Structures are given as C-alpha cells and as structure tokens.
Amino acid sequence: MSPARPDFLRVLDGETLTRPPVWFMRQAGRYLPEYRELRTRSRDFIEFCLTPERAAEATLQPMRRFPFDAAIVFADILLIPRALGQDVRFEVGEGPVLGELPPLEAMAERTLQAGEALGAVGETLRLVRANLDVRKALIGFAGAPWTVATYMLDGRPGLDRAAARRFAYETPERVDRLLEVLVEATVDYLAMQARSGADALKLFESWAEGLPDDLFERLVLKPHQRIVEGLRGRGVNLPLIGFPRGVAAQAEAYAAAVPVQAVALDTSCPLAVGRKVQQIKPIQGALDPLLLRAGGPALDVRIDQLLEAWGAGPWIFNLGHGILPDTPIAHVERTLQRLKG
C-alpha cells in the first residue's frame, strides 16, 4: 500500500486540515548546535552549500529534532549568479558580496546549463529524499529574479535596494534583459530540482516590498508568471509556493495573477488580508520570527490568533521570514507542541 500523501502537499492541493502542517523558513541553521558544528567542516558558505553530504545533513537536522511536516533543501538564493559566471562570496559579519556583473549575453549563454552547473543541489535533494520519512515533504527553491537581480546589480545591496530600483528606472532595457536571463536560469534550476526528488518548489521574492504598482507588475508579477509557464512547459507539475515578501497591499493581486499553488505571507500581512488571499488559494505564514525568539505568553496568544484567523481554510503554518540565529530551541518546541498537540 502506498503511503498517504504528506499533509503539506494536501494543503497545497487545496485541502483544509484539522491542524495546519508546519515548517519554518531557515529551519536548518545557526540556532541549532549541531548545525554550528557541521558548518565548521567547510571552508566557506558556498562550499558548504555545494557539498551534498553536508548540505543534506543540514537539511535533515531539524527534521530529526522537531516534528516538522516538510524539509527545505539547504542551499542559497545566490547560487544562480554564481552559475551564470558572477563572483559570489560570503564575508563574515557582512553577508554576500558579489563581483562585477558579467556581460548579459555571456550570462544568457549559460542559462540552459544552470541546473547542470548546480547539480550538487540536485544530489543534496536525492540524498535527503532517500533519508527522509515518506510522510514528510521535500521543498526545493530558488530566489526570484528581481531579488537575485538586486544583489547582482548592487554587489552589496542596502536595506532599501535603492541602487537596483534606480537601475530599473534609468536603464530599463538592461534590467529587463537581466530578468529574462534570470527567468530562464531559474526555470532550468528548478526543473533540475524537480527531477532530483523535490515534492514542491518555492520562489523567494525577498525584496518585493516598496515597489509601486507598475514596477511590481514588471519586476515581480511578470517574471513569476514566466517561471511558472516555463516549468509547466517542461512538464514540471509540482506545486509552487510564491513568497512576495512585504507586499500585503498587493498580495491579493499576486495570488490572482501568478499561477502558483500557494502564497506565503510575511509578518506584516494583516490577518484580514490573509483571509482574502485564502479565498483565492492556500496560504503559508506568518508568525513573527522576533516573537518566536522572545517566547512567553505573547507567543501563545499570537499562535491562537493565527489559528483562529486562518485555520478554517487551507493554510501551512510558518514564520513570516527566516528563523533568527539566537532563537531558543525551547521556543520552537513550544510552538510545535501548541500546533501538534
């Protein structure tokens, strides 16, 4: 007898469950002592991500410790620029630093080899799938084109991504061509992840916030639509989750316009907006990572509020952004105990 479909995938199919399935963004990471020990074995972060045995171990660590319903492959959204020929490195205490942007047409020649260039991520997925409980889902992911482009254009992007937005206004043809290149590379990369054992795919548009409607349509909606179309054209029928972070005012428009199966909501999204999006398709989110870190009675209250607001529809419980490195493990345990009973 075949195993039951994982709860995570049932919600992406549109089902409403008595208890929402749960996983956390960045659930594999520095808040876990076993992760910190594992990280010391690699020379740098890129090497860590591209060493399948270590990346698979990082992916599986939180699944062993907590009753999460899904694992997300351990990788990084900036692997695609590296596959396209741009220098990418992570500096301690500073984060990602990218080198000069290669010529656009030189990058365009690499787009259909992006999956092959990042084949180590596919091997990580295969290793995880072989060692993951069949009742648990496995998520593959990529950074969405505009978010990846902000890093590629800025090199060291600031919190407001002003330089990248300025480029979008001043050199629209160049930015649009870069987005086209990234759409093609992202399709190839995600298709490879689908072949390698992913059960679902996620697009992280971390820097969608702050865009006026015309830029939001041009830089976010249209590239996301083309990625979904490209994947379906390749026969990839896995469910997709779109995460346009910080766009509460545009979340309904995103849900209606982009043919993803679910929309992930960030911490700032009002509960009422989440309910409206939930009328269009399943949602994911949106506990504040700072509240998870703080814990206490306020954490319990917010969990109850989310359950009351979104529990009557298809919903995956998650954070509104990634788990913070100094989050106490006891607070994660408390949250899962409240959700799992």
Q: How confident is the model at residue 2 (pLDDT cuts 50, 70, 90)?
A: low
Q: Report the C-alpha gap between 311 and 316 in whole angstroms.
A: 9
76 is in an annotated binding site: yes
61 is in an annotated binding site: no
Q: Report the C-alpha gap between 241 and 63 in whole angstroms.
A: 20
Per-domain residue ranges of the chain? 7-340
- pLDDT 10s digits, 93-151: 668 899 999 999 999 999 999 999 999 999 999 999 999 999 999 999 999 999 999 99
Q: Which residues are catalytic?
A: 26, 30, 39, 76, 151
254 is in an annotated binding site: no
DSSP letter at 64 equals: H
26 is in an annotated binding site: yes
- Contact in structure between 138 and 132 (CB atoms under 8 Å): yes
- Contact in structure between 284 and 139 (CB atoms under 8 Å): no
Class of the domain covering 7-340: alpha beta
Half-sphere exposure of residue 243, counting CA atoms within 13 Å on the CB side? 25
Helix-, strand-, coil-residue percentages of the chain, each rounded to 5: 50, 15, 35
Q: What is the pTM of this model?
A: 0.96
163 is in an annotated binding site: no
The position carrying tokens 């399948």 is 52
- pLDDT 10s digits, 265-302: 999 999 999 999 999 999 999 999 999 999 999 999 99
Q: Report the C-alpha gap between 70 and 72 in whole angstroms.
A: 7
206 is in an annotated binding site: yes
Q: Report the C-alpha gap between 292 and 324 in whole angstroms.
A: 9
- Contact in structure between 67 and 336 (CB atoms under 8 Å): yes
b/e for 12-38, b at 16 or more Cβ within 10 A? beeeeeeebbbbbbbbbbebbeebeeb
- pLDDT 10s digits, 33-75: 999 999 999 999 999 999 999 999 999 999 999 999 999 999 9
